[in-house]
Amino acid sequence: MSDIFVSYGRSTEAQAHEVAEALRSVGYNVWRDDELPAHRAYGDVIEERLHAAKAVVVLWSAEAARSQWVRAEADIAREAGTLVQVTIDGTIPPLPFNQIQCADLKGWNGDTNAPGWRKVESSVALLVRGAPQESSQSSQAKVAPVRRVAICVLPFINLSGDAEQEYFSDGITDDIITDLSKVSALSVTARNTAFTLKGQTLEAGQIARQLNVTHVLEGSIRKSGDRVRINAQLIDAEAGDHVWADRYDRDLTDIFAIQDEISKAIVSALQVKLLPKEKKAIENRGTSSVEAYNLYLMARQHWISGNDGDIRRDEVVVRLCRQATEIDPNYAKAWALIALAQAEMRFGHSLPEDALSSAERALELDPNLAEALCVKARYLSDEDGKSEEADRQIQAALRLDPESWEVNKEAARILSRSGKMREAIPYFEKAAALAESDYYSTGMLATCYAAVGDVEGLHRAAKMTLERTQRVLAQDPATGSALGHGAVALAALGDSERAKEWIKRALLMDPDNFTMRWNLTCALSRFLGDKDGAIDLLATFVDRAPPSFVEYLRLDTDLDPLREDPRFENLAATAEQRVAASRTAAA
């Protein structure tokens, strides 16, 4: 049987052939479906080869992401722990595969020294031969088997006795996950996957089987005044033994040192190599001020609430990060978060916020901040109408940080605002997976799936949206953006009576939220069949809606049922004239 199984969409057969030949050239036995025997059933052979392969290389493309065959093959490999993912055209793997690392071979010309290819070779060598492959030239040399090291960092438990301190324990957990992800010898479970286990009581062995990891890190944090106590323990999930454990009872000012010590202790306990550049990356916190760091963590917690369109969220984020940058003017991450919130205020509420200056300040301090590039892309797209330049900024941001929630969300937003609904789907899927509180991305997923006629995808996205909005509304029943997205989800799922109740409630709770009103209009138009109600609601805000909303009037497929109505055409034309006149005056 073959060492490697190659799965791919038919449109990328040439790339599949090139990948297979490159692997064969370094001594691997590779199989793909061009070698199907004529006398046997297709499905039988595929299943046999899949289960026998030590590594399954899945070449994701736009076509492959839609293929039930490729998804099924990838799922079998994921369950078996043999999955090696590659993106051929920049397509992000669909759920749930977007939670696993993916090598980038977009535009690959066969260069075996390319970073993406080295990542593929290393993963394949680990699965097939038991150790990473150092180079193509030495690939045929025998290597001693080593144990694959994969770790899941569980959300640290907040023992402060104050639910308001949850942001701190979550922030520390995030940072430890990020630190360990910088160690090339470790495979680290994605943050969004780890946080799905928050609050659950599971044994390490059960987690290991569920997530295909070898080790689990768990801990707790107690923050009180100027003191912090952190307990952490690393468990060998297969053996059930404690590999390392320690307790840190220090001044809060030592929090950065504690994080460094935990990460380095784990690396040492697992006996993996920490490269000099990885050590430097772990030690870089972006600020030396614990107070500024604490403010940033609070702001970040508000930001990832997912409450798009809620100006209260954006104002809090800017206020907290302003305080952080007053303490440390060189805190690039805080400047980038200011820019993101200001961009929402500018383009979502027509406020005169200068998000671009904040983004440029962040990039001046750290040119590799992908989130700041998102803000530049938004200006190019929404203010200057330069979609191609905006796309270049987003592609650069994706190269810098393909796991960024903001970057994937912005990539999806730009594509959907250009009418490219199918292309936007993988990015909305990834954004939704990266932040479990993000109901905007799941709501937009429902719109995209509806636009391409995927009923199953629509219902799945609508259910996710409803679940997420209900969690938010349980904490704050007046969150208009959650009510808006939830109403669309209910309407899409056929619960028209509850959808109408949510629409009435939303308009009472948050009457000035443009995003919410847009979503309610979409619910009435596409899913409730109430054209008159949709046009009446549109008329209440389109005359003062921000330019980006007005431009989307012609593109949003949820408004297609209104296109032939002269009242809609009149509203759209009047709004477009207003925006054009405003821009002419500004020029």
Q: List, as one string, the DSSP characters of 424-479.
A: HHHHHHHHHHH-TT-HHHHHHHHHHHHHTT-HHHHHHHHHHHHHHHHHHHHH-TT-
Q: Residues in the chain, how many?
A: 587
Find, among 96, 27, 86, 104, the residue nearest to 434 by Cα: 96
C-alpha 483/C-alpha 460 separation (Å) is 18
Instruction: Give domain 150-285's CATH architecture.
Output: 3-Layer(aba) Sandwich (3.40)
C-alpha 252/C-alpha 175 separation (Å) is 16
Per-residue model confidence (pLDDT) at position 314 = 93
- Report H helices in 328-438: 332-349, 355-365, 370-378, 387-400, 405-417, 421-434
| Exposed/middle/buried for residue 468 (C-beta within 10 Å: 0-12, 13-18, 19+) | buried
Find, among 346, 230, 307, 273, the residue nearest to 476 by Cα: 307
Per-residue model confidence (pLDDT) at position 318 = 97
Per-residue model confidence (pLDDT) at position 459 = 94
- Token pair for residue 13? 């057969």
Q: Could you check whether 4-128 and 455-587 share the same CATH topology? A: no
Instruction: Give domain 455-587's CATH architecture.
Output: Alpha Horseshoe (1.25)
Find, among 115, 116, 111, 127, the residue nearest to 87 by Cα: 116
Per-residue model confidence (pLDDT) at position 443 = 93
Find, among 474, 448, 586, 525, the residue nearest to 517 by Cα: 525
Q: Is the dihedral of CA 73, 140, 134, 21 positive or negative?
A: negative
- Report H helices in 476-565: 480-492, 496-509, 514-522, 531-538, 547-552
Find, among 569, 580, 521, 505, the residue nearest to 547 by Cα: 580
Give residue-wise pLDDT tens across range 86-105.
Answer: 999 888 888 777 767 788 88
Domain ranges of the chain: 4-128, 150-285, 455-587
Look up the pTM and report it.
0.67
Q: What is the 3-state secondary structure (H, E, C) of 87-135?
A: ECCCCCCCCCHHHCCEEECCCCCCCCCCHHHHHHHHHHHHHHCCCCCCC
- Token pair for residue 159? 């023992």
**Average pLDDT per 10 consecutive residues for the chain, totaling 587 residues:** 83 88 85 58 68 89 84 83 88 76 84 81 78 44 53 91 84 89 83 82 84 90 90 87 89 89 88 76 82 92 79 93 97 96 88 94 94 93 83 90 88 87 90 86 93 92 94 87 93 95 92 86 94 95 86 88 94 92 79
- For domain 4-128, which CATH number applies: 3.40.50.10140, 3.40.309.10, 3.40.50.2300, 3.30.70.1350? 3.40.50.10140
Above pLDDT 90, what percent of the chain? 39
Q: Report how far apart, in Å, the C-alpha atoms of 403 and of each of 169, 178, 370 are.
A: 21, 11, 10
Per-residue model confidence (pLDDT) at position 146 = 44
Q: Report how far apart, in Å, the C-alpha atoms of 160 and of each of 37, 154, 157 are.
A: 64, 18, 9
- Token pair for residue 534? 């949709």
C-alpha 337/C-alpha 355 separation (Å) is 10
- Token pair for residue 236? 């060998």
Q: Which H/E stretch holds residue 62?
A: helix 62-66
